[in-house]
Amino acid sequence: MAGESPIYRRRRPPSAHELADIPWVASLEMEHRERAIAGIVVGEALPGDYVCRTGKPVTFWFGVVEGLLKMTIDNVHGDAVTIIGLPPGGWFGEGTALKREPYRYNVQALRKGLVAGLPLATFHWLLDHSIGFNRFIMSQLNERVGQFVVGREIDRLHSPEARVALSLATLCNPVLYPGVRNLLRITQQELAYLVGLSRQRVNEALAVLQAQGVIRVEYGGLRVLDVQALRAPWQLPARRRGGAR
């Protein structure tokens, strides 16, 4: 939501309902909460809009109120490589905000949604004054380390089922993405973008995971029935020849 971003140009104060969907606000004491709410803005994100881009200076700490974002980096060949997906309830960029360094990644909207931003100055003021805010940021950083470890595991997996399973488990992290719970609003094409597989391979993998009873594909998304199984896909039964595809 940098100054030239179309999301920034659409910015406005959040509604009471939108504030209720921001997980860390309720943990603040009244004085700190009022300071945070006075600074928070939200902006509509349309598909393809950039929230932040590599090399741009940090101006906000961001959160997803509605929609789905993807975080990418450019490899040595200039191709975009997806690192993580960012579903509702997720806040990101705290490491960049802490260090006040330029972004080393791009974040882009995959679908229409709503992005929240906390100005950098308010972010650091809360760090200096609010214990509740500090605890939230520490929890975020701790979970983020685990998330990127899983990301490395996904890159090394050859089984589409295992890659999709771990990616779904990451999106259902209750600390990083409390807005998801066990119902993930995502299309197979969006999941394909995040996992780095074709839509057909993702469809086949979802059919296998559904047959194994760990997810249920529903209209507009899928429901996670056994997140622990998704976190350890190598323990799931091997797909039977001629099984669900």
In order of start, what are the domains of the chain with their CATH numbers?
6-149 (2.60.120.10), 158-235 (1.10.10.10)
User: pTM (2 decimals)?
Assistant: 0.85
Mean pLDDT calculated for residue range 151-158: 66
Give the pLDDT confidence score for residue 147 in this predicted structure: 75
The yes-or-no verdict on residue 137 having pLDDT over 70 is yes
Mean pLDDT calculated for residue range 164-186: 89
Reported as a pLDDT band with limits 50, 70 and 90, residue 131 is: very high
The yes-or-no verdict on residue 205 having pLDDT over 90 is yes
Residue bearing tokens 């705290």 = 94
The yes-or-no verdict on residue 240 having pLDDT over 60 is no
Q: Report H helices in the chain.
A: 6-9, 16-20, 30-39, 94-99, 120-129, 131-156, 160-171, 188-195, 199-211, 227-231
Report residue 143 as tokens.
């979970």
Give the pLDDT confidence score for residue 153 in this predicted structure: 66
The yes-or-no verdict on residue 169 having pLDDT over 60 is yes
| pLDDT tens figures, 138-151 | 999 988 887 777 76
CA–CA separation, 227 and 75 (whole Å)? 31
Mean pLDDT calculated for residue range 220-241: 78
Reported as a pLDDT band with limits 50, 70 and 90, residue 2 is: low
Angle at 158 between CA 157 and CA 160, to 5 degrees: 95
The yes-or-no verdict on residue 3 having pLDDT over 90 is no
CA–CA separation, 194 and 188 (whole Å)? 10
Give the pLDDT confidence score for residue 159 in this predicted structure: 83
| pLDDT tens figures, 98-111 | 999 999 999 999 99
* 205-219: b (≥16 Cβ within 10 Å) or e: bbbbbbebebbeeee
Q: What is the DSSP string of 44-89?
A: EE-TT-EEE-TTPPP-EEEEEEES-EEEEEE-TTS-EEEEEEE-TT
